[in-house]
Amino acid sequence: MTTPTIGQMLDATVPMAHTLKLEYLETTPERAVLRLPDQPAYHNHVGGPHAGAMFTLAESASGCIVLAAFGDQLSRAVPLAVNAEIAYKKLAMGEVTATAVLGRPAAEVVAELDAGGRPEFPVTVEITRADGAVTGVMTVTWTLRPNS
């Protein structure tokens, strides 16, 4: 039996990500890159990807890096998004890509969990168009909630 990829795990546990047909380009503990294909069913009133679809793309990218960085901690803690803030910077058209990075070293987060804490850490995400222009920026604060 093969181990599922981060993308397969997210698609199986987060139906919205599967519904949007997100493409998982890179999912490592250092970086997660996901693409939302251009799909008319998810367009807004100006013909680009709907803000809700872009939010889901960016939040999913943040979740992928959390799974990649802390998947080995899932037996003792559950990752939860605490809050998210998004800024839409430019008009997005066509396919868009979200690139997520951890805002704290993973080892520091795990050390806080080891010490009995409930660590919080930011994940920053840039959403770009195919031409490289940044159309949005999101910060998701995550926590690793220890199992009781």
pLDDT of residue 14: 87
Select from 143, 98, 94 the least CA-distant residue to 118.
Answer: 143
For residue 56, the model assigns a pLDDT of: 96
- Residue range 6-146, CATH number: 3.10.129.10
Assess contact for 22 and 54: CB atoms under 8 A: no
- Residue 1's pLDDT is 67
How far is the C-alpha of 46 from the C-alpha of 17, rounded, in Å? 23
What integer best gives the mean pLDDT of the chain?
95
Q: What is the pLDDT of residue 22?
A: 96
| Per-residue model confidence as pLDDT tens digits over 92-143 | 999 999 999 999 999 999 999 999 999 999 999 999 999 999 999 999 999 9
Q: Supply the pLDDT for residue 117.
A: 96
Parse the chain into domains and list their residue ranges: 6-146
